[in-house]
Structure 1
Amino acid sequence: MASYKHLTAQLEKLHKEVAAAREKEVAQAIAEIKQKVAEYDLTAEELGFTSKGTVARKTPSVAKYRNPKTGETWSGRGRSPAWLVGKNRERFLIEG
Structure 2
Amino acid sequence: MTQTYKELLQQREALELAIAQARQNEIASAVAKVRELVAEYGLTAQDVFPGRASKAGVVKTVSKVAAKYRDASTGQTWTGRGKAPKWIDGKDRAPFVIA
TM-score between both structures, scaled by the size of structure 2: 0.69
The change in CA–CA distance for 1:4 and 1:61 in structure 2 (over 3 A counts) is farther
Aligned residue pairs total 91
Q: Secondary structure at the match of 2:48?
A: coil
The equivalent of 2:78 in structure 1 is 73
Out of 79, 93, 96, the residue aligned to residue 87 of structure 1 is: 93
The equivalent of 2:41 in structure 1 is 40
User: For structure 1, which runs of at least 5 residues remain unmatched after alignment?
Assistant: none
Which residues of 2 match residues 1-96 of structure 1 at below 5 A? 1-48=2-49, 49-55=52-58, 57=60, 59-68=62-71, 69=74, 71-74=76-79, 76=80, 81=84, 83=88, 86-88=92-94, 91-93=96-98
The residue type equivalent to 2:14 in the other structure is: K
Cα RMSD, aligned residues only? 2.9
User: For structure 2, which runs of at least 5 residues remain unmatched after alignment?
Assistant: none
Residues 69-89 of structure 1 show CA distances to partners (whole Å, capped at 9, x for unaligned) of: 473522x45x77372653216
Q: Secondary structure at the match of 2:34?
A: helix
Q: Secondary structure at the match of 1:81?
A: coil
Q: Secondary structure at the match of 1:53?
A: helix
The residue type equivalent to 1:63 in the other structure is: A
CA-CA distance at 1:60 after TM superposition: 4.4
Percent identical residues = 30
The residue type equivalent to 1:29 in the other structure is: A
Q: Secondary structure at the match of 1:45?
A: helix
